[in-house]
Amino acid sequence: MTVPKVTHFETVEDDEMKHAAALPVQPDTTPTTEFGTVVSFPRASELREAPEPPRKAREREDRREWLTEAEVEKLCAAARKRGRWGHRDATMILVGYRHGLRVSELVALRWQYVDLETGRLRVIRSKGSDDSVQPLSGAEIRALRRIKREQQTGERYVFVSERGAPLTSNGFFKMLRRAGDSIGMTDIHPHLLRHACGFKLVNQGVDTRTLAAYLGHRQIANTARYTKMDARRFDGFWQD
């Protein structure tokens, strides 16, 4: 066998070697093939277990979304026992719950919208929601009459502080939270009262359109969340 004669060798200069050494190493991303079939393997990073959600995300999932009617009654009773403003605070909780009021709507309530003779309440909604006129229950009328008797003549707002100014949203939030803490109910905030109203009425059989009008929803899709918790949907599934 004849070995070919090598007549020339290419040399690599020092500068070219340094340049090649400085280049980043590229991973081999080309899949292996066998008989024309692409064989791919999962990367090590894909085999790792998905990380647990952050603590704050888990806490949001665990937060209560509404209150039951029994829980609202317990909050009213707890608020009623707390100091000289107990009756006012309990009435605020009751009215906020019965009419699905946002906290901004509750603290802005004025006597001009309350008709104790006919038992009607004109609900002025915020956030572009629709206003409505709603009936007042006997318990509400009695509670509101007492508040009116104990107020100074000519007071415009229904719920006022010791100084005669309208109670603030933050003031109501703190009161509600303290009332909840006193009976072991944590994570209580004012918007739970609005949700409690929606869940109560939908389980009572109120149809979605009527509930949307009651809560002031212009988009009925905003009311659909309450129908998901309507236990009556599954009545009659099993017959023993």
Over residues 10-48, the pLDDT tens digits come to 554 555 555 555 555 555 545 544 445 555 555 655 545
What CATH number corresponds to the domain at position 102? 1.10.443.10
Q: Which residue has the higher pLDDT, 64 or 113?
A: 113
pLDDT at 239: 76
Q: φ and ψ at 152, to 5 degrees? A: -70, 150
**Does any domain span residue 150?**
yes
pLDDT at 233: 73
**Does any domain span residue 8?**
no
Selected catalytic residue, list 8, 127, 149, 228: 127
Question: What is the pTM (predicted TM-score) of this model?
Answer: 0.72
**Does any domain span residue 173?**
yes
**Does any domain span residue 239?**
no
8 is catalytic: no
Q: Which residue has the higher pLDDT, 173 or 56?
A: 173
Selected catalytic residue, list 98, 99, 194, 195: 194
**Does any domain span residue 22?**
no
**Does any domain span residue 214?**
yes
DSSP for residue 237: S
Cα–Cα distance, 93 to 205 (Å, whole number): 23
Mean pLDDT over the full length of the chain: 82
pLDDT at 127 over 80: yes
Selected catalytic residue, list 88, 97, 214, 226: 226
194 is catalytic: yes
Domain assignment of residue 129, given as a range: 64-220
**Does any domain span residue 145?**
yes
pLDDT at 81 over 70: yes
DSSP H or E run through 39? strand 37-39
Split into its structural domains, the chain has a count of 1
DSSP H or E run through 98? helix 86-98
226 is catalytic: yes
Selected catalytic residue, list 99, 102, 125, 200: 102
pLDDT at 220: 86
Q: Which residue has the higher pLDDT, 16 or 92?
A: 92
Grade residue 235 by pLDDT with cuts at 50, 70 and 90. Answer: confident
3-state secondary structure of 78: helix
**Does any domain span residue 82?**
yes
Selected catalytic residue, list 87, 148, 191, 225: 191
User: What end-to-end distance do the CA atoms of the chain give, in Å?
Assistant: 95
97 is catalytic: no
Q: How many helices (H) and strands (E) does the chain have?
A: 11, 5
Arithmetic mean of pLDDT, 126-136: 95
pLDDT tens across 177-230, in order? Answer: 999 999 999 999 999 999 999 999 998 989 999 999 999 999 988 888 887 767
Arithmetic mean of pLDDT, 81-107: 96
pLDDT tens across 38-74, in order? Answer: 555 556 555 455 565 565 544 445 567 779 999 999 9
> Alpha carbon of 56 to those of 63, 67, 170: distances in Å?
11, 22, 23
